[in-house]
Amino acid sequence: MQVSDFDFELPEQLIAKAPLPQRDAARLLHLTSPLQDTYIKHLPHLVQAGDVWVVNDTKVIPARLIGKKASGGKVEILLLEPSGQDNIWSAWGKSNKPLAIGTVVHFSDSFSGQILSRNGKHIEIQLMAADVGAAIESHGHMPLPPYINRPDSEEDKQRYQTVFAAHEGAVAAPTAGLHLTPELMQKMEEKGASFVYITLHVGPGTFQPIQVEDTNDHIMHEEAYIIPEQAADTINQAKQAGNRIVAVGTTSLRTLEAASPNGVLQAGSNRTDIFITPGYTFKMTDALLTNFHLPKSTLLMLVSALAGQDTIKAAYQHAIEHNYRFYSYGDAMFIPKTIGC
């Protein structure tokens, strides 16, 4: 498929730069026929008895570190994931001049890092502090997406994080989950839904533009996931009983589809680079709660696979005409698979 088929024009003023005061105050576009404008707080009305809503409980780390070289040159590091030894992290590095191997970057008087290897913007850095975890927490910044284009704030520490975030490792939030509150989830449970928690540590590749025109030439980023045994059992039993499996966010959907190659969800830890485009046959997911996505992005292709390209184009046009808020801190869509495939 051609990447240009997934392009659209979005007015700059529709990009949400900050969260709404209340998590469940966002608008919700229900992809029925005709399209229905509603609100996240009305999600209980969309619940069907027996639904299993699958949420991603990854926790965003303050992965953006800003420091200086001995020369005084500014360096920005985005931590991706630890290598598992000696406080060495895979990361992206940015500075005025390429970061040479051996360069020491100072983030504070007691927190620094040494560049061990470099391949383009990808680096390996060894972090050095009395307590590296505490130093990251103290000096790191929340890794807001580039389109928000402002410094992170104290508010972002809470609001660029789901209320059920539990397992540290993400460098981007599973944004559909940002809308949920304990009170809203309780109301949904009273309507017959149950919630199951899985973990996919969201990587920065989710924001990276596709650099090719043919989707067959795109190399998808890889992310780690964990599906607990109990979660897999609950989902498989619900699927077998004919109940809906509702993915809260594209990260939950990608995990469900990656871990069920034969239509049965497999528990355990693994990594996935699954790339879902129109024509894909969904094995586990019956509906999706998701925010609006970037033009020409892999996630726009994913929702087009679930709902159909014409349906998504019409939905996005409707959202633009009705001043919906876009992207991570924006409004959302509810997509039942019956609309598409």
Residue range 42-56, pLDDT digits in tens:
999 999 999 999 999
Q: Are 260 and 266 in contact, with CB atoms under 8 Å apart? A: yes
Q: How many CB atoms lie within 10 A of CB 106?
A: 15
pTM given for the model: 0.94
State residue 95's pLDDT score: 94
Query: Is residue 283 over pLDDT 50?
Result: yes
State residue 209's pLDDT score: 72
State residue 258's pLDDT score: 97
In this structure, of 100-104, 115-119, 203-207, 258-262, the range with the lowest mean pLDDT score is 203-207
State residue 240's pLDDT score: 97
Q: 212-243: per-residue pLDDT in tens?
A: 888 888 888 889 999 999 999 999 999 999 99
Binning pLDDT at 50, 70 and 90, where does residue 338 land?
low
State residue 340's pLDDT score: 42
Q: What whole-number distance in Å separates Cα of residue 1 and Cα of residue 18?
A: 34
Structural domains of the chain, with CATH: 3-60+156-339 (3.40.1780.10), 64-140 (2.40.10.240)
Q: What whole-number distance in Å separates Cα of residue 131 and Cα of residue 110?
A: 10
Residues 6 or more apart from 190 whose CB is under 8 A from it?
A: 44
Sheet hosting strand 27-30, strand order edge to edge: 36-39, 27-30, 332-336, 287-291, 245-248, 52-56, 194-200, 223-227, 268-272
Residue with tokens 């292709």: 301
Query: Is residue 339 over pLDDT 70?
Result: no
State residue 205's pLDDT score: 77
- Is beta strand 104-108 parallel, antiparallel or unpaired with respect to 111-119? antiparallel
State residue 107's pLDDT score: 98
In this structure, of 154-158, 212-216, 229-233, 289-293, the range with the lowest mean pLDDT score is 212-216
Measured in degrees and rounded to the nearest 5, phi and psi for residue 92 equal -110, 140
The pair of three-digit structure tokens given for residue 66, joined into one six-digit string: 């800003």
As a whole number, mean pLDDT of residues 82-99 equals: 91
Binning pLDDT at 50, 70 and 90, where does residue 341 land?
very low
Q: What whole-number distance in Å separates Cα of residue 149 and Cα of residue 262?
A: 42
Mean pLDDT over all residues of the chain? 95
Q: 299-313: per-residue pLDDT in tens?
A: 999 999 999 999 999
